[in-house]
Amino acid sequence: MSLLRKASWSPYLAGALVGILAVLSVVVTTVVLDKGHYLGASTTFVRASGLMEQVVAPQHVAENAYFQSKKVKVDWQMLFVIGIFAGAFVSSRLGGSAKHETVPPIWRERFGDSAMKRGIGSFIGGAILLFGARMAGGCPSGHGMSGNMQLSVSSLLALVFFMVGGIITARLLYGKGGQ
Amino acid sequence: MELFLGLITGFFFGFLLQKGQVLRFERQVGFMLLKDMTIIKFMATAVVVGMIGIYACHAAGLISLSLKATNVGAIVIGGLIFGVGWAIAGFCPGTSVGALAEGRFHALWAIFGMLVGAAAYAEIYPSLQSNILSWGNYGKITLPQVLGVSPWLVVAAWIIAVVAFFSWAEKKGL
pTM: 0.96
ipTM exceeding the 0.90 mark:
yes
pLDDT at A36: 96
Query: Per residue, what are the HEC states of chain B?
Result: CHHHHHHHHHHHHHHHHHHCCCCCHHHHHHHHCCCCCHHHHHHHHHHHHHHHHHHHHHHCCCCCCCCCCCEHHHHHHHHHHHHHHHHHHCCCHHHHHHHHHCCECCHHHHHHHHHHHHHHHHHHHHHHCCCHHHCCECCCCEHHHHHCCCHHHHHHHHHHHHHHHHHHHHHHCC
Whether the CA torsion B127, B130, B131, B134 is positive or negative: it is positive
Q: How far is A126 from chain B (nearest CA, A)?
A: 4
Band of pLDDT at residue A179, cut at 50, 70 and 90: very low
Which of A18, A74, A78 lies at the smallest CB-CB distance from B16?
Answer: A18
Looking at beta carbons, which residues of chain B come within 8 Å of A51?
A: none
A164 touches chain B (CB under 8 A): yes
Do the chains contact at A173 and B88, CB–CB below 8 Å? Answer: yes
- CB neighbours of residue A54 within 10 Å: 15
Q: Burial of B63 by CB count in 10 Å (0-12 exposed, 13-18 middle, 19+ buried)?
A: buried
Is the per-residue pLDDT at B171 higher than 80? yes
pLDDT at B111: 98
Do the chains contact at A165 and B79, CB–CB below 8 Å? Answer: yes
* Percentage of residues of chain B with pLDDT beyond 90: 99
Q: B64 — alpha (psi -120 to 50), left (phi > 0) or beta? A: beta
A54 touches chain B (CB under 8 A): no
Q: Report the mean per-residue pLDDT for chain A.
A: 96
Is the per-residue pLDDT at A178 higher than 70? no
Q: What is the pLDDT of residues B102-126, one digit of tens each?
A: 999 999 999 999 999 999 999 999 9
Q: B68 — alpha (psi -120 to 50), left (phi > 0) or beta? A: beta
List all residues 6 or more positions away from B52 whose beta carbon is below 8 Å from its beta carbon: A19, B155
Mean pLDDT of B165-172: 97
Q: Is A49 helix (H, G, I), strand (E, B) or coil?
A: helix
Mean pLDDT of B14-21: 98
B139 touches chain A (CB under 8 A): no
Mean pLDDT of A70-96: 97
Which of B41, B47, B108 lies at the smallest CB-CB distance from A11?
Answer: B41
pLDDT at A177: 52
Is the per-residue pLDDT at A50 higher than 50? yes
Closest-approach residue (CA) in chain B for A169:
B84
Q: B69 — alpha (psi -120 to 50), left (phi > 0) or beta? A: beta
Q: What is the pLDDT of residues A141-152, one digit of tens each?
A: 999 999 999 999
Is the per-residue pLDDT at A1 higher than 80? no
B80 touches chain A (CB under 8 A): yes
Is the per-residue pLDDT at A119 higher than 70? yes
Do the chains contact at A25 and B9, CB–CB below 8 Å? Answer: yes
Interface mutation target, options A6, A31, A51, A91, chain B, most CBs of B under 10 Å: A91
Q: How far is B113 from chain A (nearest CA, A)?
A: 4
- CB neighbours of residue A13 within 10 Å: 17
CA dihedral (B4, B47, B137, B89) in degrees, to 10, reads 80
- What are the C-alpha distances in Å from A150 to residues A19, A142, B92? 12, 11, 21
Question: A22 with A38: CB under 8 angstroms?
Answer: yes
Do the chains contact at B13 and A21, CB–CB below 8 Å? Answer: yes
Which of B8, B19, B113 lies at the smallest CB-CB distance from A125?
Answer: B113
pLDDT at B161: 98
Helices vs. strands in chain A: H and E counts, helices first:
9, 0
Q: What is the largest CA-CA distance in chain A?
A: 54
* Percentage of residues of chain B with pLDDT beyond 70: 100
Question: A34 with B62: CB under 8 angstroms?
Answer: no
Question: B50 with A144: CB under 8 angstroms?
Answer: no
Q: Is A8 helix (H, G, I), strand (E, B) or coil?
A: coil
Which of A18, A46, A76 lies at the smallest CB-CB distance from B13?
Answer: A18
Q: How far is B8 from chain A (nearest CA, A)?
A: 6
